[in-house]
C-alpha cells in the first residue's frame, strides 16, 4: 500500500470513530452533541484529543478539558448542546 492511501485510510477510520463517539454520546444520559457539533468540532478533536480516539469517555473529557483551546464554532456549539442537555435532564 502506498503511504498516501494508508494515511487516507487512517484519517477516514479516525473520522468515523470520532463521529461514532459523538453519536453514542447523543444517545447517552450525558452530553448530547448535534450533527452541527460533529461538523464544527471534528478538527478540534483531531488536533487536541486524537490520542483519545476512539475512547468515547476520554474524548469527551479531553474536549471539555481543552475548552479554552477549542475553535470558536466548536465551543459555541458544545456550550449550546450542553445547555440543552442540562435543561432536558432537569425536567
Q: How confident is the model at residue 48 (pLDDT cuts 50, 70, 90)?
A: very high
Collapsed DSSP state (helix, strand, coil) of residue 66: coil
Collapsed DSSP state (helix, strand, coil) of residue 3: helix
Mean pLDDT over 60-70 rounds to 91
Q: How confident is the model at residue 26 (pLDDT cuts 50, 70, 90)?
A: very low
Mean pLDDT over 60-87 rounds to 86
SS3 content of the chain, % helix, strand, coil (to 5): 80, 0, 20
- Do 49 and 70 touch, CB atoms closer than 8 A? no
Mean pLDDT over 20-48 rounds to 67
Distance, C-alpha 18 to centroid of its chain: 6
Mean pLDDT over 42-65 rounds to 89
- Do 45 and 75 touch, CB atoms closer than 8 A? no
**pLDDT of 7-16, one tens digit each?**
565 665 555 5
Cis peptide bond prior to 54, omega within 30° of 0: yes
pLDDT over 60 at 31, yes or no: no
Determine how many CB atoms are found less than 10 A away from the CB of residue 12. 10
- The pTM of this model reads 0.58
Sign of CA dihedral 43, 15, 39, 53: negative
Amino acid at each position: 500500500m502506498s503511504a498516501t492511501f494508508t494515511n487516507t485510510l487512517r484519517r477516514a477510520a479516525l473520522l468515523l470513530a470520532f463521529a461514532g463517539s459523538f453519536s453514542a454520546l447523543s444517545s447517552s444520559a450525558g452530553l448530547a452533541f448535534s450533527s452541527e457539533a460533529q461538523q464544527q468540532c471534528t478538527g478540534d478533536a483531531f488536533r487536541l484529543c486524537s490520542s483519545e480516539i476512539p475512547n468515547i469517555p476520554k474524548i469527551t473529557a479531553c474536549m471539555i478539558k481543552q475548552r479554552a483551546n477549542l475553535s470558536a464554532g466548536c465551543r459555541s456549539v458544545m456550550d449550546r448542546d450542553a445547555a440543552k442537555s442540562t435543561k432536558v435532564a432537569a425536567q
